[in-house]
């Protein structure tokens, strides 16, 4: 399947999924979530696919959800494509690999919590600015991030919402390896190909066993976050933050 904005290509037994909206830093629209859902469904069902690799290009991975959609086309039920996508991330049974360079904001960072292997370029800038936008964390990150790096470091990242580099992400346990930006995608692809040569049932069972202890908790957290997230999208704090972004000014929360 190839839409304009979500490009998929089978490379051996690795399905390469490229986010392809570089003029908007790969900010994800509702239609892009639909494309992602179709790609994940294909990757799940097609026995020719052993590994799914998610990538952008050398300069950009993903600037998170499209802020215009947050403002004008917000998710209002669990059937929304964005929540279906989070379900795919949490439930995907084959190895999921990410190659990340440049901007990795919001879901561009929290996706790493659902990946099996993550490669990040030395030009990567991760950020989870949910609170800065008047929102709350998503994709199970309010549970998975403290689990990965401890409460105080997760609180710093989620409450201050500041950016951090690939070396910090590696130290936090979000990234396997930091690469020169030009090497991130080739390194991730070569490693994904090695994974694809492993016995697939053994790989799938290993992933299921590794995830089993927290599966129910992750699914419940995603639901709880989604309910709060939909409320926050309608909040005056969030509207101020989204408007400020497009007006290229700092948000002013002093009146709340």
Which of 83, 130, 143, 229 forms a contact with ligand COA (CB under 6 A)?
Answer: 130
Q: Is 181 in the site for ligand COA (CB under 6 A)?
A: no
What is the nearest approach in angstroms of ligand COA to the Cβ of residue 242? 9
Select from 88-96, 98-106, 116-124, 210-218 the region that touches ligand COA (CB under 6 A): 98-106
Contacts of 181 (CB under 8 A, 6+ apart): 58, 59, 101, 102, 121, 122, 123
Q: Is 97 in the site for ligand COA (CB under 6 A)?
A: no
Select from 80-88, 99-107, 169-177, 210-218 the region that touches ligand COA (CB under 6 A): 99-107
- DSSP string across 98-142: EEE-SEEETHHHHGGGG-SEEEEETT-EEE--TGGGT----TTHH
Q: Is 24 in the site for ligand COA (CB under 6 A)?
A: yes
CA dihedral over 222, 228, 230, 233, signed as positive or negative:
negative
CB 95 within 8 A of CB 58: no
Binding-site string for ligand COA from residue 26 to residue 55, where x marks contact by CB under 6 A and - marks none: -x----------------------------
From the list 216, 196, 198, the residue with the least C-alpha distance to 97 is 196
By CB under 6 A, the count of residues binding ligand COA is 15
Binding-site string for ligand COA from residue 66 to residue 95, where x marks contact by CB under 6 A and - marks none: xxx---------------------------
């Amino acid at each position: 399947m190839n839409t304009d904005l979500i490009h998929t290509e089978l490379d051996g037994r690795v399905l390469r999924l490229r986010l392809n909206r570089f003029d908007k830093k790969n900010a994800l629209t509702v239609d892009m979530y639909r494309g992602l859902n179709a790609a994940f469904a294909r990757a799940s069902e097609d026995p020719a696919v052993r590994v799914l690799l998610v990538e952008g290009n050398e300069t950009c991975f993903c600037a998170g959800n499209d802020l215009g959609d947050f403002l004008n086309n917000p998710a209002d039920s669990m059937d929304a494509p964005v929540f279906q996508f989070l379900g795919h991330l949490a439930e995907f049974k084959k190895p999921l690999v990410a190659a990340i360079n440049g901007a990795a904001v919001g879901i561009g960072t929290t996706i790493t919590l659902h990946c099996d292997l993550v490669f990040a370029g030395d030009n990567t800038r991760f950020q989870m600015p949910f609170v800065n936008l008047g929102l709350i964390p998503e994709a199970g990150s309010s549970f998975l991030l403290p689990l990965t790096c401890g409460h105080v470091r997760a609180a710093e990242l989620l409450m201050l919402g500041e950016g951090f580099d690939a070396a910090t992400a590696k130290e936090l346990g979000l990234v396997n390896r930091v690469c020169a930006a030009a090497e991130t995608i080739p390194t991730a692809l070569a490693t994904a190909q090695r994974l694809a040569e492993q016995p697939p049932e053994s790989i799938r069972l290993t992933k299921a066993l590794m995830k089993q202890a927290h599966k129910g908790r992750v699914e419940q957290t995603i639901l709880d976050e989604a309910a709060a997230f939909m409320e926050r999208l309608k909040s005056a704090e969030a509207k101020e933050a989204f408007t400020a972004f497009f007006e290229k000014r700092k948000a002013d929360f002093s009146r709340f």
